[in-house]
Amino acid sequence: MFEDKTLVCKECGEEFVFTAGEQEFYAEKGFENEPQRCKPCRDARKKAAREGREMFTATCAACGGEAKIPFQPSEDRPVYCSECFAKLKEAE
């Protein structure tokens, strides 16, 4: 049903292949638009967004360790470190 397509990255102007597998994934997720950027440009944008984000330090409500989080913690809600958060998600 899907065939590989060659697209042009709007960031760097290079051609990249939008594979049949990627198209199938996009369809399963309900994405209607094709990717606009090649993988290296998408990765660079994600990295830049992460680096510009202010991180806050909080104490994990489960283990008492230090947790780095991308939001200002509030006193009325617990904050968990990455490991404890993953354990809580597994338990659900």
- 44 and 82 in a single domain? The answer is no
- 38 and 75 in a single domain? The answer is no
Whether residue 52 is predicted with pLDDT greater than 80 in this model: the reply is: no
Q: What SS3 class is residue 26?
A: helix
- Please state the pTM of the whole predicted model: 0.57
Alpha-helical regions (H) of the chain:
20-29, 39-51, 82-91
- 60 and 84 in a single domain? The answer is yes
How many domains in the chain? 2
Distance (Å, whole) CA 37 – CA 42: 6
- 39 and 73 in a single domain? The answer is no
- Determine the structural domain holding residue 83 and report its residue range: 56-91
Q: Which two tokens stand for residue 11?
A: 């960031």
Q: Which two tokens stand for residue 91?
A: 């338990």
* Mean pLDDT of all residues in 20-47: 95
Distance (Å, whole) CA 92 – CA 84: 13
- 9 and 27 in a single domain? The answer is yes
